[in-house]
Structure 1
Amino acid sequence: MSIVLPMSIFALAASITPGPVNLVCLSTGIRRSIPQGLVFVTGATLGFVVLFLGIGFGLNSLLTSLPGFERWLNWAAIGFLLFLSYRLARDDGGIPDDARHESSGFVTGALMQWLNPKAWLASIAGIGAYTNGGDASLVWLFAALYLPICWLSLSCWVYAGAFLRHLVRRPAILRGINRTLAALLAASCSLFLLD
């Protein structure tokens, strides 16, 4: 199938490039154990694939048929991203020895994708570009390709965070990184405010 390669390249580009979920994966890799990070990644991946399938099978029609839905979605996304930014900025920079508490888990990952503007845009653009008007077999194929590509891409961010963890043992350094990531996450909200 000649469509598999372009779909895969699109999925990789959309999944591995920086965005709100990627920043949280990086922070989770720094602050938590790799298995906890991969739980978040699994939630984010499955949340994205369900969103992608929903858009592929008509969820995007809500954007045009329900008055104000797109604006509500924008404000919900901004609120959620600002909340995550706040939590990240307030982090004390200490890496717990027992990293089981307060982890960004499966549900947070899945929910974050539904409130992630990058996920909505990537889904709408991918469906529009590669599925011939929402052809069901192509939507399923694209989702099947997205599943491992998205999981592996987000996992790379967790592993990058785990690598950085060894370099940022001092709380002051980690606080600086967390605040930088928080600022970037908050700045991603400006895309909606400028819209």
Structure 2
Amino acid sequence: MSTDAFTLTLSFSLFAFVASATPGPTNVLALNNGSRFGTLATLPFVVGGSFGASAILLLTASGLAGVITDYPLLRTLLAWSGALWLSWMAWKLFHAPGVSGEAQHGAPRVRWHHGALMQLVNPKTWMMALTASALFAPAGEAGHTANHSHSLMLALIFFLVTIPCMAAWAWLGEGSGRLLKTEAQRRLLNRVLAVLLGVSVWVALLS
């Protein structure tokens, strides 16, 4: 690996870590599902969320970023539709009952496609992808094949970095779920997470 390639890999890995480890809608929902179902049961959601974010990054780095930039109305529509949908999820979570993990034994578990599809309406993911596409674009005119390989490399790095970061949020959720024994405590956790979800959505949108 050349020095330039190593520097790019290291710098983008740090960018991916910060982008995926900091609070955001997907991480808040991973924490919530970890508290409800446990870390292992939340891993499909984690993998799906990581895949969805990486796929969006691949698309934007491959040229979609230019289309969105050229059509501001499209960017605005994506951002506001995602923010409104996630705000509705936050509202539902705020009013969710604080039942225990045992009581939710028969409840439907989150699947990988839930995490992947959620990224389509996540303003933070789109903001990250557009930023990464601009900051880590290949230098010079290296040709279509080289640019595509560059985009694939960024998406792969982001996928590998995001999985443990998001899984850590699910693990924190599982730990909090064990500490909170009563229904009132769990309801309070739901409401705190709902507020965090709403704040993270609108901060990403307004920034």
Asked if TM exceeds 0.5, the reply is yes
Q: Structure 1 residues 161 and 128, CA, compared in 2 at 3 Å: closer, same or farther?
A: same
- Pairwise CA RMSD of aligned residues? 2.0
Gaps of 5+ in 2: 1-5, 140-145
Of 34-43 and 124-133, the range deviating more from structure 2: 124-133
1:71 Cα deviation from its structure 2 partner: 1.8
**CA deviations over 1:87-122 (Å, ceiling 9, x no partner):** 211211112325352333222211211111111111
Q: Structure 1 residues 100 and 194, CA, compared in 2 at 3 Å: closer, same or farther?
A: same
Structure 2 length-normalised TM? 0.86
Matched-pair identity in %? 28
**Cross-structure match for 1:12:** 17
Aligned mate of 2:149, from 137, 147, 150: 137
Tell whether the 8 Å contact from 2:48 to 2:116 is kept in structure 1 after alignment: yes
Aligned mate of 2:189, from 177, 190, 194: 177
Q: Measure, in 1, the Cα distance between the counterparts of 2:158 and 2:205.
A: 29
**Cross-structure match for 2:143:** none
Q: Which aligned pairs between 1:1-195 and structure 2 lie closer than 5 A?
A: 1-66=6-71, 68-97=73-102, 98-132=104-138, 135-191=147-203, 194=206
Q: Measure, in 2, the Cα distance between the counterparts of 1:190 and 1:67.
A: 18
Question: Runs ≥4 in structure 1, deviation > 4 angstroms?
Answer: 192-195
Tell whether the 8 Å contact from 1:31 to 1:99 is kept in structure 2 after alignment: no
Q: Structure 1 residues 92 and 41, CA, compared in 2 at 3 Å: closer, same or farther?
A: same
Specify the code of the residue in structure 2 equivalent to 1:117.
P
Aligned residues between the structures: 195
Residue 169 of structure 1 aligns to a residue in which SS?
A: coil
Q: Measure, in 2, the Cα distance between the counterparts of 1:89 and 1:102.
A: 19
Structure 1 length-normalised TM? 0.91
Tell whether the 8 Å contact from 2:25 to 2:200 is kept in structure 1 after alignment: yes
Q: Structure 1 residues 104 and 83, CA, compared in 2 at 3 Å: closer, same or farther?
A: farther
Gaps of 5+ in 1: none
Specify the code of the residue in structure 1 equivalent to 2:98.
G
Q: Measure, in 1, the Cα distance between the counterparts of 2:174 and 2:101.
A: 13
Residue 60 of structure 1 aligns to a residue in which SS?
A: helix
1:61 Cα deviation from its structure 2 partner: 2.5
Specify the code of the residue in structure 2 equivalent to 1:151.
I
Q: Measure, in 1, the Cα distance between the counterparts of 2:159 and 2:106.
A: 26
Q: Measure, in 1, the Cα distance between the counterparts of 2:42 and 2:84.
A: 23
Tell whether the 8 Å contact from 2:58 to 2:154 is kept in structure 1 after alignment: no
Which structure would you say has the larger Rg? 2
**CA deviations over 1:33-83 (Å, ceiling 9, x no partner):** 322211110110111111010001111233234462112112211122112
| Bigger helix fraction | 2
**CA deviations over 1:131-150 (Å, ceiling 9, x no partner):** 32693232221111111110
